[in-house]
Structure 1
Amino acid sequence: MGLCCCTGMRVGSVGGGMKKEDLLWLSAHTNYSEKEIYQLYKGFQQDFPGGGIFRRQFERFFMGTNDLQNQRGKKMSNLVFKTLDTDNNGYLDFREFLLGVDLVGARTPEEKLIWAFKMYDIDNSGIIDRSEMENVMKSIYSMLAAVSEAPPDDPKKRANAIFSEIDINDDGGLSQEEFLKGCLKDDELMKLLEQLFNVLTTTME
């Protein structure tokens, strides 16, 4: 995608139709600065004036010079759309797109867990409650389903089991550290995430 290299950003009323609160949320939930997000947004507007990027367009970011490399595009695209296109409209708006790019950049199982935690830590408090934990686990299961590795059990049950085991003080919330600790102790879950990692990295070679 050809990105516009803007040099500045208007504070308060962000130019180009992007709300300041959206800019702040994305800055808190991805690895991009506000200036980088604004630059990416301007480029996204130029390249996709309709406001969204379709699956086939997203695949092209990862296409290579042979069939094996081209499988990468399909797997990466499937991972992102399965995880983020929850309304099944077939395309990603800018917020979903940027989260998708951040997800693809999360290479290890631990990084993908952190990505899922940050995505559902809606208020950026560093704490998720039980219902948010269920959403995190659904997101992880969606990642696994994208590479045909989804567990047969209910993600809500797994989320609640991990939550109950880790929330020993019964304060109704888990920090990122506690969340990681609980997931890392789940041998089956980590094995599945390792398989996800292996499938994706194999297609990137």
Structure 2
Amino acid sequence: MSIIKKKVLQDLTETICKKVDRFNKREVECLIQQFHELVGEQSSPGRVAHCLERGSFRGVMHSIFGLTDDMIMEGIFRTFDKDNDGFITVEEWIEGLSIFIRGTLDEKTKFCFHVYDLNGDKYISREEMFHMLKNSIVRQPTEEDPDEGIKDLVDITFKKMDHDLDGRLSFEDFEYAVREENLLLEAFGTCFPEPMVVLNESWRK
């Protein structure tokens, strides 16, 4: 188990509380401690880890929050990883969780769009949409060509969401569609835990 000194914990808590207002001071302290426990679990002999690696992050998303789609979990990792260095710091972890668990609709809309924008070009293309839907939809064994059904679904979705009719979804298109119909927020895959799924109760005490 990773141990964090009291003074370091207090200073780090103060710093993070200035950036994150969705968790109170005690919750931030507990999340910092929990993060260090997770980081400690991924440490190997002779090596001390200070950041959460991709594999461990995905393990947490699966075991604690019940997410299973590899493509979506990779997108969530990218969204948490603000500086794009391939690791999650404690600050990125708590800032990410503040939206992941308690974000407003606007924050969650931006979060989902970033997750769905697989290549980071600020648009969701038909190809990206196809891959996400193909990954998340359960196929029936009797289907001769299940990809055809997914292509049809992509066409239907574009008619619903491509507000400016340019053949790709910008953030503005996505935001407009979600405001019109909130259920479209997670149209291409589950990005958030179920309402009943929360972190272990120890972080809230």
TM-score with structure 1 setting the length = 0.48
**Higher Cα radius of gyration:** 2
Point out which structure has higher relative CO (alpha carbons under 8 A, 6+ apart): 2
Structure number with higher helix proportion: 1
TM-score with structure 2 setting the length = 0.48
